């Protein structure tokens, strides 16, 4: 899922984004894909205090009748520089090793039925089920259904606790393809202040038959 460092620098530079900019990310997606962009900025070492996700996204913005425009504003090209923080991403070998050494908790953001293998995967090349010893916390539990905003910090803590996940322990996140794992990553960051660690291949890699 992660782009090459040079590609990330080129795209940010062409958009006119500078390393010193405060970047606010929004989307129009039910899976809150803006969290994936947030995570990618952190992976490439943008100041975490200068990366935010718009709570509720474009849908909430439109519902509140806030200002929008139809033109695309062009910004002067910048020279964005990135550094990879490889400690924020896991590969399949590290996930397999963790099954034995239990050095971190792996938490899956998919729905319960997909996690339990009751609901088949949409992609035919993937088997049903989950990674051994992983825990399940569907990302939808962390979001308010009426406006797609994140639940309050104390509610998030309660949901982590209900799912027997300690946000202060070493945790990594996974899902179907590396997107909703970042929703869990953001909520964990809200609680603990730590950057998220993601198994980037997720079930799209691990669940291949």
Q: Is 182 a catalytic residue?
A: no
CA dihedral sign of residues 158, 164, 169, 171: negative
| Separation between Cα atoms, residue 106 and residue 100, nearest integer Å | 13
| Separation between Cα atoms, residue 27 and residue 35, nearest integer Å | 9
Given 51, 175, 179, 197, the catalytic residue: 175
Catalytic residues: 175
């Amino acid at each position: 899922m992660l782009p090459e460092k040079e590609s990330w620098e080129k795209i940010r530079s062409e958009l006119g984004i500078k390393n010193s900019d405060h970047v606010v990310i929004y989307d129009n997606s039910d899976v809150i894909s803006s969290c994936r962009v947030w995570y990618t900025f952190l992976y490439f070492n943008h100041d975490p205090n200068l990366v935010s996700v718009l709570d509720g996204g474009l849908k909430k913005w439109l519902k509140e009748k806030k200002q929008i425009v139809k033109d695309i504003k062009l910004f002067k090209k910048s020279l964005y520089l990135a550094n990879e923080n490889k400690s924020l991403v896991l590969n399949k070998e590290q996930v397999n090793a963790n099954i034995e050494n239990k050095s971190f908790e792996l938490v899956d953001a998919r729905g319960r039925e997909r996690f339990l293998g009751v609901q088949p995967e949409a992609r035919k090349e993937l088997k049903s089920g989950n990674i051994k010893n992983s825990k399940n916390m569907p990302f939808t539990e962390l979001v308010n259904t009426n406006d797609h905003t994140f639940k309050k910090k104390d509610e998030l803590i309660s949901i982590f606790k209900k799912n027997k996940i300690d946000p202060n322990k070493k945790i990594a996140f996974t899902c179907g393809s590396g997107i909703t794992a970042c929703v869990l990553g953001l909520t964990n960051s809200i609680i603990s202040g730590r950057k998220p660690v993601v198994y980037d291949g997720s079930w799209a890699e691990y669940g291949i038959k």
